[in-house]
């Protein structure tokens, strides 16, 4: 069996792991909001003002810290005023399935959802087809006191107190579907929009500018030249893992070859390079690193499940997705000096969802299990580690076998690892630079890589306690089975 080594200094913490790294993204797309999180007040499915109770509970179990809404592409065609009050204006969702929506889920319902979840709100404002006035008035409606014109409209619509809006995105993918802009043009327009995006609820709202698509370094360079920390708190990066690398044929969610598995993993690991290279450009223009990075869309994107509406982006979620989630979350932890938020696309029934529903049935996917396993990292401090790990090869792909990150909270150390190999176990030797390790406990998620959790059946992929380790002379030796995600709590 191959051996990997990890050495850590429990007294050297590097950066704060913002809980928002474990954030989520919910768009008006397919069955994410309507017939997903929101079933309507008259539904037979147990709900609170139309919001599915079991979904709320499942999201609370993974400590959902922030929710981005209403899109995505949808955001740049969303007119908020159509979605408040007793007379809602139906709309056509031109991006996703060209379906009609009755607008019954709007601003009030979104903030009620955030309140039920106990999470922060991240609104993506319409820049692509809206106006400066429309966005400025939306923020006013949300945050101004009830004795102001828009505050009193909010009060008349049933909510007297202003809400807290922590994050505001200005536009979405404005290099593409959000207006096909050049970075210079976007940056100028962004500066204008953000000037009038005033928050009246005394909160230090983070304004988020549209950052690059994947490896579009030209975009990052173009916007960073003009955006200053007093305009923007963060820029966003969108990057999806596509097994084949081709949008026209992305690969199946469940039926995939060994090579396709490894190409998915290699594509996920690429996130690290993206953060490093965009980060280098950001440092050139902002050496104090005041402008942060948000990965506000990430996850696996496969071919849509056969027999489902192509515009709804419904896909199954297997143990492969669990490994991808672990890799990405470890990368984000390790970059927590720069990455302050990441939002998985998307929460329910769309792309790499944590929840899937079929009528009354709700499934917690393998990705949900990883979010549950990583919970102790939320708000912890990243610990300095040095690792030496073996590499694995498959055809033309060569990748490290192990992904990991370590954090510390209340004197307890927490380590998350993934053995990416499909057939080779790995022995991990863990050693502290200070006092020896005195106690450890571990949990594991492991299953055949094609396994998924199905409706009405027992969970195939879930968290178990794990005893495959020993402590000798203050050193911990942990056996990592192939295709596994493991967490370890360590004292010492």
Which residues are near ligand AHR by CB under 6 A?
27, 71-73, 172-173, 297, 345-346, 351
Q: Is 459 a catalytic residue?
A: no
* Residue 122 structure tokens: 């991240």
CA pair distance 71, 74, nearest whole angstrom: 5
Q: What angle do CA 208, 211, 212 make, to 5 degrees?
A: 165
Nearest residue by C-beta to ligand AHR? 72
Measured from the CB of residue 301, what is the shortest distance to ligand AHR in angstroms? 8
Measured from the CB of residue 178, what is the shortest distance to ligand AHR in angstroms? 8
3-state secondary structure of 2: strand
Return the number of the residue (58 or 345) whose C-beta is nearest ligand AHR. Answer: 345
Return the number of the residue (124 or 404) whose C-beta is nearest ligand AHR. Answer: 124
Residues 377 and 19 sit within 8 Å (Cβ to Cβ): no
CA pair distance 454, 97, nearest whole angstrom: 25
Bridge partners (DSSP) listed for residue 332: none
Residues 403 and 417 sit within 8 Å (Cβ to Cβ): yes
Return the number of the residue (137 or 173) whose C-beta is nearest ligand AHR. Answer: 173
Q: Is 101 a catalytic residue?
A: no
Q: Which of 101, 112, 166, 297 is catalytic?
A: 297
Return the number of the residue (351 or 380) whose C-beta is nearest ligand AHR. Answer: 351
Measured from the CB of residue 172, what is the shortest distance to ligand AHR in angstroms? 5
Q: Which of 61, 77, 173, 433 is catalytic?
A: 173
Residues 287 and 227 sit within 8 Å (Cβ to Cβ): no
Query: Which residues, in sequence order, are CB contacts of 267 under 8 Å at separation 6+?
Result: 241, 242, 243, 245
Return the number of the residue (301 or 466) whose C-beta is nearest ligand AHR. Answer: 301
Query: Which residues, in sequence order, are CB contacts of 396 under 8 Å at separation 6+?
Result: none
Measured from the CB of residue 448, what is the shortest distance to ligand AHR in angstroms? 28
Measured from the CB of residue 72, what is the shortest distance to ligand AHR in angstroms? 3
Residues 162 and 151 sit within 8 Å (Cβ to Cβ): yes
Other C-beta atoms within 10 Å of 351: how many? Answer: 27
Active site residues: 173, 297
């Amino acid at each position: 069996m191959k051996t990997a080594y990890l050495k850590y200094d429990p007294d050297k913490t590097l950066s704060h792991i913002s809980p928002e790294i474990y954030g989520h993204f919910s768009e008006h797309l397919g069955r994410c909001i309507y017939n997903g999180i929101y079933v309507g007040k008259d539904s037979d499915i147990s709900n609170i003002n139309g919001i599915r109770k079991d979904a709320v509970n499942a999201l609370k179990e993974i400590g959902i810290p922030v929710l981005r809404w209403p899109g995505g592409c949808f955001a740049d065609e969303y007119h908020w005023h159509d979605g408040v009050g007793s007379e809602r204006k139906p709309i056509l969702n031109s991006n996703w399935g060209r379906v009609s929506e009755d607008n019954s889920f709007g601003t009030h319902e979104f903030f009620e959802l955030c309140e039920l979840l106990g999470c922060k709100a991240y609104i993506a404002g319409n820049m692509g087809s809206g106006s400066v006035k429309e966005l400025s008035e939306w923020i006013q409606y949300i945050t101004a006191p009830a004795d102001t014109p828009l505050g009193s409209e909010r009060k008349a619509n049933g909510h007297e107190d202003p809400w807290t809006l922590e994050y505001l995105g200005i536009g979405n993918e404005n290099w593409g579907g959000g207006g096909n802009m050049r970075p210079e043009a976007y940056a100028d327009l962004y500066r204008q929009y953000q000037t009038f995006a005033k928050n009246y609820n005394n909160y230090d709202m983070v304004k988020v500018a549209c950052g690059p698509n994947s490896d579009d370094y030209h975009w990052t360079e173009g916007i960073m030249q003009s955006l200053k920390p007093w305009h923007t708190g963060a820029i966003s990066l969108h990057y999806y893992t596509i097994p084949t690398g081709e949008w026209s044929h992305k690969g199946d969610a469940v039926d995939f070859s060994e090579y396709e598995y490894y190409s998915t993993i290699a594509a996920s690991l690429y996130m690290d390079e993206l953060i490093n290279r965009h980060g280098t450009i950001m440092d050139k223009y902002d050496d104090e690193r005041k402008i942060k990075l948000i990965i506000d869309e990430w996850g696996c994107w496969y071919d849509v499940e056969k027999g489902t509406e192509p515009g709804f982006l419904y896909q199954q979620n297997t143990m492969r997705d669990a490994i991808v989630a672990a890799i990405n979350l470890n990368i984000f932890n390790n970059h927590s000096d720069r990455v302050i938020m990441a939002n998985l696309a998307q929460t329910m029934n769309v792309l790499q969802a944590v929840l899937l529903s079929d009528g009354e049935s709700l499934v917690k996917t393998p990705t949900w299990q990883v979010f549950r396993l990583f919970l102790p990292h939320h708000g912890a401090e990243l610990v300095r580690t040095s690792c030496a790990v073996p590499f694995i090869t498959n055809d033309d792909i060569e990748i490290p076998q192990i992904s990991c990150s370590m954090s510390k909270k209340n004197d307890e150390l927490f380590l998350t690892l993934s053995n990416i190999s499909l057939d080779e176990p790995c022995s991990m030797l863990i050693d502290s630079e200070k006092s020896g390790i005195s106690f450890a406990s571990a949990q594991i998620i492991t299953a055949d890589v094609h396994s998924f959790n199905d409706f009405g059946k027992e969970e195939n992929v879930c968290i178990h306690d794990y005893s495959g380790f020993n402590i000798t002379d203050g050193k911990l030796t942990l056996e990592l089975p192939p295709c596994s995600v493991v967490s370890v709590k360590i004292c010492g």
